[in-house]
């Protein structure tokens, strides 16, 4: 068994080698993964030494990988002393998993951290968690996925699950808009104080900045949230302006100021799978085929400005947006993780008829008792 550090090619290739073509796992694009782990380009890593890419090999063949990194802003906001692991993908191989996790723990201890937690790929506003149930459900883009043995390997190495979440899926064909539009929502939509912002291609840059402001305001009380700077949001959303279908995303204004957003993108996983997560001369062809066939979309997030919450804003937005999505040919809508104690968002899932897709947990281990 061999442990390598910093072998990006092996880090990217590992899931393809260990999971096989039949797995539901879909890798990020190779170029995106490289960009995420680029010192100076990714604002999370302004200087070298804030992350490590680790791979385990048996007889020169990869059996697993894990990234480990620091997120100083998260520790500052939440008053923790935690390092984070990311992209933990491993064959059902106890020795390989132990080697990877021990190496990640050692990296964190050397830097003075007392806890290791993950998956964070790479922050709480990107992909987080480890799938613990619902392994048969096909994931949407931006939803985590892993095999059933992943949680077991973590538990065997002393990791405990916490922060339970669910992903969801809604059938748009059976959605009844009237289920979302009560008296408060109808009054809001009839008021001249409220208006939907234009979503043409030329409007997307300004809508994305409004998306950041609404994210920071609406998620301020989420226990995992860290406010995003413009630089951080622009880095994470760099590709959105090219993949957003303007018919899907909705931004609501109140008296000319951004009030709420439902940020939706087409599900890119079929396209990414077809390209094997690599850019090549066939990529444009695969993208065109995907555009003709796409019928699933994903809610990246929904947010209402903090001072306007509890006034029916989200119901009004969903009640108008989801029928438009259905008219545009979309049949299913996926939702990224919702914490079990986020009762407001869970009620919205019930109202649109969404069903749980995956069960997801974070995993953590104290580094001071082992």
| pLDDT beyond 80 at 291 | no
Residues 208 and 310 in one domain: yes
Reported as a pLDDT band with limits 50, 70 and 90, residue 25 is: very high
pLDDT at 283: 84
CATH code of 265's domain: 3.40.630.30
If asked whether residues 200 and 332 sit together in one domain, one would say yes
Mean pLDDT of 94-116: 98
**C-beta separation of 356 from 175 below 8 A:** no
- Tell whether 261 and 182 lie within a shared domain: yes
Residues 284 and 281: their CA atoms lie apart, in Å, by: 7
Give me the helices (H) in the chain, please: 8-19, 30-36, 72-78, 94-110, 149-156, 183-190, 204-218, 230-236, 240-243, 269-274, 283-293, 313-327, 343-351
- Torsion angle, CA of 187/314/198/190, rounded to 10 degrees? 0
pLDDT number for residue 290: 80
Read off the pLDDT of residues 228-252 as tens digits, 9 standing for 90 and up: 999 999 998 888 877 888 888 999 9
336 and 253 fall within a common domain = yes
Which pLDDT value is given to residue 370? 53
Name 64's bridge partners.
56, 90
Lowest-confidence segment of 47-51, 139-143, 205-209, 352-356 by average pLDDT? 205-209
β-pair type (82-90, 115-118): parallel
pLDDT of 193 strictly over 80: yes
Asked whether residue 350 carries a pLDDT value surpassing 70, the answer given is: yes
* pTM of the predicted model as reported, rounded to 2 decimal places: 0.95
Total of domains in the chain = 2
CA distance 169 to 356: 6
pLDDT of 239: 80
Q: Average per-residue pLDDT in the chain?
A: 94
**Mean pLDDT on 333-340:** 96
Q: Looking at beta carbons, which pairs linking 219-223 to residues 24 or more positions away fall under 8 Å?
A: 219/301, 219/303, 220/306, 222/124, 222/339, 222/342, 223/78, 223/163, 223/339
The range of the structural domain enclosing residue 334 comes to 170-359
Q: Rounded CA gap, 10 and 87, in Å?
A: 13
Question: How many Å apart are CA 283 and CA 224, to the nearest integer?
Answer: 35
Same domain, residue pair 160 and 184: no
Q: What is the pLDDT of residue 178?
A: 87
Q: Find the mean pLDDT for residues 296-308.
A: 95
CA–CA gap between residue 345 and residue 264 (Å, rounded): 16
Is residue 100 located within the same domain as residue 200? no
- pLDDT bin (cut points 50, 70, 90) of residue 156 is very high
Nearest to 235 by CA among 43, 39, 48: 43
Question: Count of CB atoms within 10 A of residue 345's CB?
Answer: 17
185 shares a domain with 159: no
Per-residue confidence (pLDDT) for residue 62, from 0 to 100: 97
Query: Over 60: is that where the pLDDT of 113 sits?
Result: yes
Residues 148, 59 share a domain: yes
Higher per-residue confidence, 85 vs 222? 85
pLDDT tens by residue, 315-332: 999 999 999 999 999 999
Q: Kindly state whether residues 80 and 200 are assigned to the same domain.
A: no
Q: Indicate whether 157 and 206 sit together in one domain.
A: no
Higher-scoring residue by pLDDT: 246, 153: 153
Helix, strand, coil percentages for the chain (3-state, nearest 5): 35, 30, 35
Mean pLDDT of 206-221: 94
User: Where on the phi/psi map is residue 265: left (φ > 0), alpha (ψ -120 to 50), or beta?
Assistant: beta
Greater confidence (12 vs 246) lies with 12
Rounded Cα distance between 65 and 50, Å, is 17
The answer to whether residues 160 and 185 belong to one domain is no
> Which residue, chain included where needed, has tokens 């995907």?
290
Q: What span, in angstroms and rounded, lies between the C-alpha atoms of 310 and 318?
A: 15
Euclidean distance between CA atoms 151 and 128, whole angstroms = 14
Both 49 and 29 in one domain: the answer is yes
Pairing verdict, β 250-254 and 120-121:
unpaired
- CA–CA separation, 191 vs 49, rounded Å? 53
DSSP conformational letter for 39: B
């Amino acid at each position: 068994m061999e442990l390598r550090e910093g072998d990006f090619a092996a880090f990217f290739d590992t899931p393809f080698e260990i999971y096989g073509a039949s797995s539901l796992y879909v890798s990020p694009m190779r170029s995106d993964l490289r960009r995420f782990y680029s010192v100076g380009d990714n604002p999370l890593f302004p200087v070298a030494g804030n992350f490590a890419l680790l791979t385990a090999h048996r007889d020169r063949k990869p059996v697993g990988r894990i990234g480990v990194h620091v997120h100083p802003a998260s520790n500052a906001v939440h008053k923790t002393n935690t390092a984070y692991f990311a992209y933990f993908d491993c064959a059902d191989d106890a020795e390989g998993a132990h080697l990877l996790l021990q190496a990640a723990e050692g990296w964190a201890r050397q830097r003075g951290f007392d806890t290791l937690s993950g998956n964070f790929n790479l922050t709480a506003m990107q992909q987080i968690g480890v799938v613990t149930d619902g392994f048969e459900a096909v994931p949407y883009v931006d939803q985590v996925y892993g095999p059933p043995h992943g949680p077991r390997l973590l538990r065997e190495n002393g990791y405990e699950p916490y922060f339970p979440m669910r992903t969801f899926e809604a059938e748009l064909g059976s959605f009844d808009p009237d289920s979302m539009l009560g008296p408060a929502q109808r009054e809001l939509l009839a008021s001249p104080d409220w208006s939907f912002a234009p979503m043409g291609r030329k409007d997307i840059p300004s809508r994305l900045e409004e998306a950041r402001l609404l994210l920071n305001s609406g998620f301020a009380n989420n226990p995992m949230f860290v406010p995003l700077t413009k630089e951080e949001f622009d880095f994470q959303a760099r590709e959105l302006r090219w993949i957003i279908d303007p018919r899907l995303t909705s931004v609501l204004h109140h008296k000319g100021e951004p009030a709420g957003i439902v940020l939706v993108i087409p599900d890119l996983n079929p396209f990414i799978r077809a390209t094997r997560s690599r850019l090549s001369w066939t990529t444009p062809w695969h993208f065109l085929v995907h555009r003709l066939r796409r019928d699933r979309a994903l809610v990246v997030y929904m947010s209402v400005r903090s001072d306007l919450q509890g006034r029916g804003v989200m119901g009004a937005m969903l009640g108008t947006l989801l029928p438009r999505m259905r008219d545009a040919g979309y049949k299913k809508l996926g939702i990224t993780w919702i914490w079990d104690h986020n009762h407001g968002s869970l009620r919205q899932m019930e109202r649109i008829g969404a069903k749980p897709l995956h069960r997801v947990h974070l995993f953590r281990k104290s580094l001071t008792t082992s």
